[in-house]
Every structure is written in structure tokens, then in C-alpha cells.
Amino acid sequence: MTRAPYRGAVDRKDIGSWLSGPKIDQGLDGDVGYPGERLGLPESGRGAVTGWGRRIAALVIDWFIVLGVSLAIVGPPVPGDDTFGLVNLAVLVVMYVLLLMTAGATLGMWLLGLAVWPVGSQRLSFPRVVGRTLLLAVVIPAVVYDRDRRGLHDKVGSTVVIRVR
């Protein structure tokens, strides 16, 4: 068995095919359109995919509500005791599931004019909302997203967060 001779240093030609990334769903000019275009949503205004600023602000509002409820249930956190953190997570999951199933938005989303909208013709179902919420609670799927600003939790739930006003 003979080995190929060593050519020396690796140059751009050797790795150039993957260095610039895939060209999936891109036109000749590299334009991929606006967020939500593939979903049939408008570019701006009511019904458009919301920006990150509003989504994060809504989550912060929801988190303060969760902290208040958790304080009312178990009192202030005790160093070395994980009860307060676990109650926070449980309250967040219950709040999201109940409010998304009944109103399509959490309190933070409602205050900022956002809603969770189903993609396609299906409606928000209990299993989809629970799956979406549990993945949101894990955090990592929420920060891995596509060009339509849909995190893995949105993809599992077949949802998108849109502006309603």
C-alpha cells in the first residue's frame, strides 16, 4: 500500500468548498429574503415575524412575573437550596402552557403586541405547546434558530412569534 506524497501546507483550495458555507435556498445574488417570507408572512407590520428585541423584552417581563409568583409560593431563595429555582421553572412552564393554549400569548407577549402563531393550517394543540414550552425551558433550543427567527422550540411546535399590533 503506497501513500500519497506529502504536499506541504493546506491551502484554501483544499477547504474552500465548505469554508464559505452552504448555499441552500439562496438565489444567484445570495439574497435569502426577509424573515417569514417562506412562511407567507408580511415583511413588516401586523402579522410579520417579530424582532429579537421584543421577544427578549417579553421573556424578561414573563420572568419577573414568574419570580413574583415563586416568591409568593416558597418565599425568598435560600443559599444551597434549589427549591426556588425548580419552582421558577415549574411556574414558567405552567404559565406558558396555560396562556399559550388559552390566549396564544404570555403576559409579556401580550403587553408588547406579540403572539405565538401556528405555521400551516393546524392550530396550537396541547402536545405542540407543551413540547415547545419544555424546549424553551431548556434554553439551548431557543438560541438555535433559522432565517425566519424560529428557534428549535418553534420548529418542534410548528409555530412562529408574530406581531399582532
Instruction: Tell me the β-bridge partners of 114.
Output: 163
Residue 136 C-alpha cell reads as 424553551
Please tell me the pTM assigned to this model. 0.75
Q: What is the residue extent of each domain of the chain?
A: 42-163
Alpha helices in the chain (DSSP H): 12-19, 52-74, 83-102, 107-112, 126-138, 140-143, 152-156
User: In a structure prediction context, what are the per-residue pLDDT tens digits for the chain, which is 165 residues long?
Assistant: 555 555 555 555 555 554 555 555 444 445 568 998 988 889 999 999 999 899 999 999 999 999 999 999 999 998 988 999 999 999 999 999 999 999 999 999 999 999 999 988 778 889 989 998 998 888 877 788 888 888 888 888 889 999 998
The secondary structure element, H or E, covering residue 147 is none
Question: H helices of 22-51, where?
Answer: none
In angstroms, the CA 95 to CA 106 distance is 8
Spatial distance between the Cα atoms of 41 and 51, rounded to a whole number of angstroms: 14
